[in-house]
Structure 1
Amino acid sequence: MFCRDFFELWPRAVVTDLSRLHSDHCPILLKVGVEDFGPKVFKCFNSWFLREDFERTVRLAYALAPRGGSVDRTIQLKLQNIKKAIKGWWVETKAKEEEEWKRLKENLECIERVAERRDLLDREREDRVMLLKRINELVKIKGRDLRQKAKVKWAVDRDENSSFFHGVVNARNLNNRIVGLKIEGQWVSNPKLIKDEVLLQFQERFTEPLTRRPKLWFISRLCHVLKLEGKEMNLLGALSLKSFTKPIDNGVKPYLYQIESASYPIRAEENPTIQECQIEDNPSADKEPNSTVVP
C-alpha cells in the first residue's frame, strides 16, 4: 500500500491506522497538512559563493553591523546582521533567477518555432547558443543545491538527475519529521507541545546532577604540608622514589627502603618504621645513599 509517486507529490502526507472498533476492517486515515515547527535553520549553500554579488553583500553587512559593549556581543550582532542581509539577498536573487529562467525558455521556444519554418540566421544561431549556455548554467546551479540538500556525492559530477535528488530530499525529510508523540498516554500532534516535550527530555538527560561541584582544596593544603624548613618544594620533583625493594624475609620480615631526594630529609622520629635513613643533599654524587635494614 505504498505509492512512491504519491509521496513525491505530497511529501508531508501522514497515514494513520485507526481502530477497528466500529468497523469490520482497519480504516486508514490519510492527511496532507503542514506542521509549523517555527522558522527553519539557516543554511549556507556552496552555490552562493559562485555569484558575484554574494561577497559584496556579506562585506557590506559586516561593515554596517552595530557594535556592542563586549567582544562577544559585537560578534553576535555582526553575525545576525550578515544572516539578515543574506536572507534578503537570497530572496531577491531567487526571484530574479526564476524570472530569467522563464524569459530564457520563452526566447528559446520562440527560436525553435522559427527554426521549424525556415533556416536560422547567423545571429539567431548565436542567440540560441547563448540561451542554451545560460540555461545550462542555471540548471547546474540548481543541481548543486539539490546535491547539497540531499547530502549525496556522485562519482560523476555531471550526473544531475533532479528527480532522484528530489526523491532523496523528500525521503530524508519524511524520515526526520516528527509527526506526533505519545505524551502521558495520549497521542499529541501539536507542534508546540511536541517541541516542549523534546526540550524537556533533553533537559532531563543533560542537566548537571550536582548543583555544587567539589573544589580542589587539597592542592593548597598539600603545598602547605610540603613546606619544610622554609623551603618551597616542587610538586613534580620533590620526591624521587627510585625503587622500593621487596621485603627481605629473615624471620621478622624487615624492610629495606631506598629513597632518593634532593630536599626532603626523612627522620627516624617522623616514621617509627625507619630508624635511620640519611639522604644525600646532592643526588648526582658518586656516593650511594645510606640504606638501613629495619628489623
Structure 2
Amino acid sequence: MERVNSTLLTEFILTGIPYPLRLRTFLFVFFLLIYILTQLGNLLILITVWVDTQLHTRPMYIFLGILSIIDMGISTVIVPRLMMNFTLGVKPMSFGGCVAQLYFYHFLGSTQCFLYTLMAYDRYLAICRPLRYPVLMNGKLCIILVAGAWVAGSIHGALQAILTFRLPYCGPNQVDYFFCDIPAVLRLACADTTVNELVTFVDIGLVVASCFSLILLSYIQIIQAILRIRTADGRRRAFSTCGAHVTLVTVYYVPCAFIYLRPEINSPLGGAAALFPTAITPFLNPLIYTLRNQEVKLALKRIIGGPGTTSDV
C-alpha cells in the first residue's frame, strides 16, 4: 500500500471517441453546434415557461422548465470536454476535475430520471383524474416533488463519486472514454473493484428500473384512459400531450440501461450509446417539445407578439 500511496494519480487523459482524422474539423463543428443549439433551445423553453403566465403556474410546464435546466447542465458537463478530443494535443483532466464531472453527471442524470417519473405521474393525474387534478397536483406539492428529485439526485451522485474515488489510482491514467464515468474509471483502479461494480449495478439499476417501471405503469393507465375517449380529436390531443415525453424517455432510458446494466462494460458500442443521454437527448428535448406541444408553440407566439389562443390540457 505504501507503493500505491506514493504514486497516486493527479490527472487523467481521456481518449475520447475514435474517429477518422479527416473528420476532426467536421466533428468539432458538429458538436459545437449541438452544444450551442442545446443551450439556446433549452434556454428558450425555460424563458417561455417563466414569462408566459399561462404556463409557469402549471406543474407540467414547471417540470419542463426544470428539465431544460438539467439538460443545459448535462450538456455543459460533457460536451465541451468531448469537443477537446477533436483538437490537437493531449489535454489531461485533473483528478479533481474528473471527480467533479462524474459527480455532476450522475447527480443531474439521476435527477432527470426522477423528473421523467414525476412528469409521467403528472400526465397520469391530468388524464386519468382530471376532476381531482388541481387538488392532487398543486403548486406546493409540485415544488416539494421537484426539491425531492434534486436532493435524491445529489445523494445518488455523491454516493457514486465517493465509492469510485475512494479507491487508489496509481497508473495508468488513460481513461478509455470521452468523459469520466464509473465503468471506464474503475478499470484504472489499483484495487479490487468488485464491491464498486456491484453497488453501481444495484444502485443505478434500482434507479433506472424503479423509475422506468413507474413511468410504464403510468402510461398503461394513460393509454387505457385515452382509448375510452369517444371523440377522435380528444384522443389525438391526449396522445399529443404524452407523445413527446414517451419519445424522450425512450431515447434516454434505453442507452442508460445498455451502458450500466449489461455484463460487458468494455463494448465499443458503449461510447456511442453514451452520446444519447449526454449530448443527443439534451439537444432533442427543446426540439421535440416545441414541435409536438401546441401550448408551447402558442406561448412562443404570445411572447413574440403573434396571434395565439389558449388550449385546454
Is this a same-fold pair by TM over 0.5? no
Q: What TM-score do you get using the length of structure 1 for normalisation? A: 0.35
- Greater fraction of residues in helix: 2
Larger radius of gyration: 1
Q: What TM-score do you get using the length of structure 2 for normalisation? A: 0.34
